[in-house]
Amino acid sequence: APIRPDAWTEVRDGIVAALRYPALARRRGTEGCARLRLELDEAGRVAALEIQPPQPARALGDAVRSAVCRAEP
């Protein structure tokens, strides 16, 4: 079965809502930008996650992974 067209929007909105800037990175003035590559399964859940660049900063990469996990339906 194909993925619902609105599944991508739901996942994106969920990630944005769940994203928290790490306190340590904020105190240190660490900034970064992460590009995500996601694959969704037929139910609209994240089946694969790749962060590009792989580690903008470890704390930022961890925060992105955590936000993706919290955003899943």
| Residue 2 reports pLDDT greater than 80 | no
Helix (H) or strand (E) holding 12: helix 5-18
> Mean pLDDT over residues 11-17, rounded?
92
Q: What angle (nearest 5°) sits at the alpha carbon of residue 58, between those of residues 56 and 64?
A: 75
Rg (C-alpha) for the chain, rounded Å, is 13
pLDDT tens digits for range 19-73: 999 998 899 998 888 888 999 888 888 999 998 875 667 888 889 999 999 887 6
User: Token pair 């992460």 is at which residue?
Assistant: 34
Q: What is d(CA 42, CA 47) in angstroms, rounded to the nearest whole number?
A: 9
- What does pTM read for this prediction? 0.76
- The residue behind tokens 């994240």 is 46
Give how far Cα 21 sits from Cα of 50, 56, 70, Å. 19, 13, 14
